[in-house]
Amino acid sequence: MSKKINAFYAQSGGVTAVINASASGVIETARAHRDQIGKVFAGRNGIIGALTEDLIDTSRESASAIAALRSTPSGAFGSCRYKLKSLEENRIEYQRLIDVFKAHNIGYFFYNGGGDSADTCLKVSQLSKKTGYPIQAIHIPKTVDNDLPITDNCPGFGSVAKYIAVSTREASFDVASMAKTSTKVFILEVMGRHAGWIAAAGGMASDEDTPIPVAILFPEIKFDRKKFIKKVKDSIKKFGYCSVVVSEGVRSGNGRFLADQGLKDAFGHAQLGGVAPVVASIIREDLGVKYHWAVADYLQRAARHIASKTDVEQAYATGVSAVQMALAGKNAVMPAIIRSSDQPYRWKIGEAKLTRVANREKMMPRNFITTDGFGITERCRRYLSPLMRGEDYPAYDKNGLPKYARLKNIAVKKKLDESFEI
């Protein structure tokens, strides 16, 4: 083939404040190697865009638009929750991918996602061997859950951590002001269904200069109502108030999510609430003090306005490295963040084999959680601190709102006759 080989890039799973920074890294680096890489086609709504031949021509975007992605949250090309089955189980999907890749001369596959996506990327990486179609698949790490193995941390996590720590500190100051006659307990629900990394960040709200009583409920620690109430009571006694950071994934003794309380409305319909109101009810029943609760939900992972500078830099760097790995002939790998020192913080990008990444979850080590199960250890602080460090503010417009990029997202002309139902 004399034509230059094109690249496919897609965003997968839940988006983050910095996944577009990775996209920016991929596209800018590919543009810097025009002699070796043709165009970068992005999948509209992730891998679905590849299956349906709905490709976005990123070469139609200006250099400034691609640069602006670095400070724009969310997935600029759309993401999806769609997991490819194995080649044996669903050969038709892989055949379709190859048809689309072939039609558009795609030889590089960049997949930006978490653990499930790493598995998809691994499967695509095996297509060369199994089908003979030459494709190199590189996974770019992304997940607010911070649960990918090998890499020291995951792009997307540092910014959520910063948001949760800042929010917990701010709300705690608020509660401290009100505690004398009003609210004594503030509860913040955060993401993390399996691993407590995000909840742990709430503990960073407190430090020597600014001591704040924060009780964390980790998914790794079974909820013990008695111990929890004692913890909150002791904090109120000492500080006058208590802040609670609760992970959505906290489970009670019977293994069920604490959030799953079988709530019914006045008509008997089941209600799915968050875990924060459940914890609030427990506070009310057992302590009878005034409480407030918040659920951060998407706000936490979309909060580009308070993104961590470290996180933005790493997200961009993994995008850059992914392209460099592809150009070096690599396949089935992922750029991983390697930490060589806590203080001063030093990191570089290394290479992880996808076989060692896919379908493995990294939980919080037990020694990152204090013995009582409600706090973070010094070791955890040393780990978290540099990931949240530095600010990287977006530009603001005349109404006081951040200027986030919206791309043109112009579709590549379809070349295949058949459409594909997903």
- Residue nearer to a second copy on the CB measure, 79 or 126: 79
58 is an interface residue for a second copy by CB under 8 A: no
Interacting positions 34-53 with a second copy (CB under 8 A): 45, 48
The residue among 132 and 344 lying less far from a second copy, judged by its C-beta, is 344
Binding flag, residue 305, a second copy (CB under 8 A): yes
Q: Which is nearer to a second copy, 29 or 79 (CB)?
A: 79
Helix (H, G, I), strand (E, B) or coil at 399: coil
Does position 157 bind a second copy by CB under 8 A?
Answer: no
Is 83 an interacting residue with respect to a second copy (CB under 8 A)? no
Q: How many CB atoms lie within 10 A of CB 321?
A: 26
> Catalytic residue at 145?
yes
Determine which one of 54, 57, 145, 392 is catalytic: 145
Angle, helices 276-286 vs 225-239, to 10°: value is: 70
Site string for a second copy, 115-154 (x = CB under 8 A): ----------------------------------------
Beta bridge mates, 186: 243, 292
Cα gap 169→5, rounded to integer Å: 50
The DSSP element (H or E) to which 149 belongs, if any, is none
345-374 residues near a second copy, rule: CB under 8 A:
none
Q: Is 181 exposed, middle or buried (0-12, 13-18, 19+ CB in 10 A)?
A: exposed
Least distance in angstroms from the C-beta of 311 to a second copy: 10
Q: Give the residue, chosen from 233, 356, 360, 389, that forms a contact with a second copy under the rule CB under 8 A.
A: 389
- Of these, 35, 209, 417, 421, which contacts a second copy (CB under 8 A)? 209
Nearer to a second copy (CB atom), residue 262 or residue 329:
262
Write out the DSSP string of 94-122. HHHHHHHHHHTTEEEEEEEESHHHHHHHH
Q: Distance (Å, rounded) from C-alpha 10 to C-alpha 45?
A: 8
Q: What is the DSSP string of 336-381?
A: EEEEEETTTTEEEEEEEEGGGTTT---PPPGGGB-TTSSSB-HHHH
204 binds a second copy (CB under 8 A): yes
406 near a second copy (CB under 8 A): yes
